[in-house]
Amino acid sequence: MTACAGILYVVPTPIGNLADMTPRAQQVLAEVDLIAAEDTRHSAKLLQHFAIKTPAVAYHEHNEREQTTRLVTKLQAGESIALISDAGTPLVSDPGYRLVHEARLAGVQVVPLPGACALIAALSASGLPSDRFIFEGFLPAKAAARRQSLQALQAESRTLIFYESTHRIKECIDDMLAVLGPEREVVLARELSKKFETIHGAPLADLAAWLAADDNQQRGEFVLLVRGAGVQEAGDVDTESERVLRLLMAELPLKQAAALAAQITGGKKNALYKHALALSDE
Ligand code: SAM
C-alpha cells in the first residue's frame, strides 16, 4: 500500500506523453480515497487509460475556496486525497496553492511526487545556465502590461523562464525583441514530449524571423527561456575582463587574479580562471 490515511498527495501527470506517468503516480491515484482534479472530464481520460477507478471531484480556481475547506475536513477525518491538474505538476501555473497551504496549516501531511513539469524539462535541455533561474509563469496578456513586465526583468542576470500559449507566442517574442534587444538569446521549447517537440535557440532577432517564417512553429504549447542579462557563454571572457585579468595576473597567483577579476568585472570566477590558465599557457 503506497497511499496512507490522512495524507494529501501532490501528483504530477504527463505534459504530453502518457509514458511519463510514473508507476508511483499510478499507484497513489489508484489507492487514495479521492482525487481532486482541476478538470474531472479532462482527467477522466487519463484515469481511464490507467484503469484507475478512484472517485474524482473538481478543484479549480472557481471553487477552490469552498472546496479547500471540504477537502481539508476530509483529510483531518483520515481520508487520503491526491491532487492533480490537467497536465504537469499541480501548483506550477495550476491550481492547488490554497489547498496545500491550508492542509499544512491544519497539520495535514503533504507528500509531493516528483514528475513531469514543462519548465524543468525545458531548462534541462535549453543549454542556458541552469545554476540560477527564475520562473515567471505567463506574461500578461495585454501588450502594454507585457512590455512593462519585460522592462522590469531587463537587467535580471538569472535565466528567465516563461510559459506561453499558441495565441500569443508571436506577439510575446516580438515584445521581447523590442524590450530586450536583438542580441539576447532565447530558447523556445515547444510541444515537449509530444510528436512535434522542437527546441530552438537563437538571438531574438533571428528567433522572431524564424517564427514569422513558419506558422507551424507558432502552434502548440511553449516554454520560453531567456539568457540572463550580461551572462556570457561558459568560458567566454570579454576584452575588458581580459585586460583586468592580465593586469592582475602580472602581480598575483592565477587563482587570486581570477577571483579578484571576477569581483571587479562581475564575470564568472570559473570562466575567468579557465581563461587565466589559457593565457598563462600562451
Ligand atoms: N503545471 C504545468 C507544468 O508543470 O508544467 C503547467 C500548466 S500551465 C496551465 C500550461 C502551460 O505550460 C502551457 O501554456 C505551456 O506554456 C506549458 N506547457 C505545458 N505542457 C507543455 C509542453 N508539452 N511543451 C511545452 N510547454 C508546455
- Nearest residue (CA) to ligand 1, atom 11: 163
Output the pTM of the full model.
0.84
Q: Is the shortest distance between the CB of 225 and ligand 1 below 6 Å?
A: no
Domain coordinates in residue numbering, the chain: 7-112, 118-226, 239-281
Q: Where are the beta strands (DSSP E) in the chain?
A: 7-10, 34-37, 56-58, 81-84, 109-112, 133-138, 159-164, 185-190, 198-203, 222-226
Per residue in 71-109, pLDDT (tens digit) is: 999 999 999 999 999 999 999 999 999 999 999 999 999
- Compute the distance between CA of residue 199 and CA of residue 163 in angstroms, rounded to an integer: 14
Look at domain 118-226 and name its CATH class.
Answer: alpha beta
SS3 per residue for 15-63: CCCHHHCCHHHHHHHHHCCEEEECCHHHHHHHHHHCCCCCCEEECCCCC
How many whole angstroms from 223 Cα to the centroid of ligand 1?
A: 7
In the structure grid, which three cell numbers stand for residue 226, read together?
Answer: 531567456
How many whole angstroms from 183 Cα to the centroid of ligand 1?
A: 26
Residue 39 confidence (pLDDT) above 70: yes
Q: Which atom of ligand 1 is nearest to the CA of 89?
A: 4
Q: Is the shortest distance between the CB of 198 and ligand 1 below 6 Å?
A: no
Longest CA span, the chain? 72
Q: What is the pLDDT of residue 192?
A: 98
- Between the alpha carbon of residue 173 and those of residues 111, 221, 259, the distances in Å are 37, 14, 37
Q: Which atom of ligand 1 is nearest to the CA of 120?
A: 5
Per residue in 248-266, pLDDT (tens digit) is: 999 999 999 999 999 999 8
Q: What is the pLDDT of residue 232?
A: 62
Asked if residue 205 lies in contact with residue 141, where contact means CB atoms within 8 angstroms, the answer is no
> 7-112 falls under which CATH superfamily?
Tetrapyrrole methylase, N-terminal domain (3.40.1010.10)
